Structure 1
Amino acid sequence: MSEAHRHHAIANLLEERPFVSVKELQLMLRVSAATVRRDIDKLDDAGVARKVHGGLAALEGGRQRKAVSLPFVENRDIAVEAKRAIAVEASKLVRDGSLIIVHGGSTCFEFGTRIANRNLRVFTNSMPLAAYLSEQGTCQLTVGGGDLHREPGILYDPARGGYEFYAAQFYVGALGVSQDGLLENHPLLVRFINDMCGLANEIIVLVDSRKFSERPSSVALPLSRVTRLITDDGLSDRDAAMLEEEGVAFSIAPTARGAA
């Protein structure tokens, strides 16, 4: 495949997806990682797409795209600086001695690493986070039971009855955010989020600013249920205005990119 044909194929893919990784492009185009990285640099220089850590992102301001949920091992390497900044900001809301629920996903994972050694009881169904906390943390850890769903990487039994605890806070991520609420593609996650929201006094949403341009198929939680949303300084004025109009309290986590 010629360079021009590769670039055309990549541009078409980004019409449907907000991000494509180097590994995915290698498999799709059947070329080396070095070739993919050269293509990414050229598309970024040409203003066709935006080079980001781990791959290539569609330009902001384009038409709304259907969100695609990436595997955790790929997603954790995307927008890392923003996710870590959000985790730092979110950790300031945690009260020592409390019980908190932490959802799955890469942003919540970054948050979990920040509070791993706090005086807390942490309940999570996230397999990656539970593994990290068991090896690296000192907090009390309770892992939810049920079947292992490798993607999205949680333990969950939808048929289970109510849990016998009540948490101070539920820290939750989402695949997308709109004026309708938190958005997900996976029906299991919609069910899980609703279950956990009924067990917490405060619902804290952790989403990087890319999530405001993604449109998954299902509303997992209306914005009226959100206590506070934390995002990064890439949040657009339009999306900030939407949150204000919906009455959502939100915090902006500063990044080095935003300070530049």
Structure 2
Amino acid sequence: MLEGNRVSRISVRGFAVVSATAVTTVGAVVGVASGSTGQPSQEAEATASDSTLLADIPAGQQAQVQTSSLKQQAQTQAIAADTAAQKSAEESARKQAAEDAVAKQQAAQDAKEAKEKAEKEAKEREAAKKAAASRSATRDASDFASQASYSVAQVQSMARQMVPSGQFQCFSNIVDHESTWNYKATNASSGAYGLFQALPGTKMSSAGADWQTNPATQIKWGLGYMNDRYGSPCEAWSFWQANNWY
């Protein structure tokens, strides 16, 4: 019996030392995972030393002590694994959030640029359309035979055939205010002349040498002036309304 007790005490003591060493090792791993550095502490050594006392525990209670030690090891390992997994998950979440923020910002910038480009292209198309419409006269001044004189109705008829239909009303509004369709209208104080009160009247010679007597020549000049300076008769009329001149 004495010899059997010695074997039991030695076996149990060996198991206790192994168990304590395992606990100490796990504790060291946990310490490293938590950011600790250096050698195992005196507490760990004390634990290893104290574990030899397991042999002094009655045989009936040794199984409980051994089971408790194994459970502690398992719990320590589980806590270390959970901590590492949580840290990894948090890092992945931060990385994903940063990537999502960058992608969202880039998408917003791309959408803004696309919108600005579309608006710019739409404006350019509209401007080109207006310019083409304002310059596409049905007839030219040279298409009309010269006469000694012209009535207001005849002058207006010429204008309708020379000015694009979509621009005629604006064109007519300006002529109404400037000369009431009198192609020989003269401003006594300034010398402005003709349907558009050109100042000086000789400006209209660029459209034809007969600018003083031919309303078709004056219409050609006036239409060209509105297109070149304002883009169209309607744009010229908008300016006239704001300034009472053009």
TM-score, normalised relative to structure 2: 0.20
Whose radius of gyration is greater, 1 or 2?
Answer: 2
> Using CA pairs below 8 Å that are at least 6 residues apart, which structure has the higher relative contact order?
1
Select the structure that is richer in helix. Answer: 2
Select the structure that is richer in strand. Answer: 1
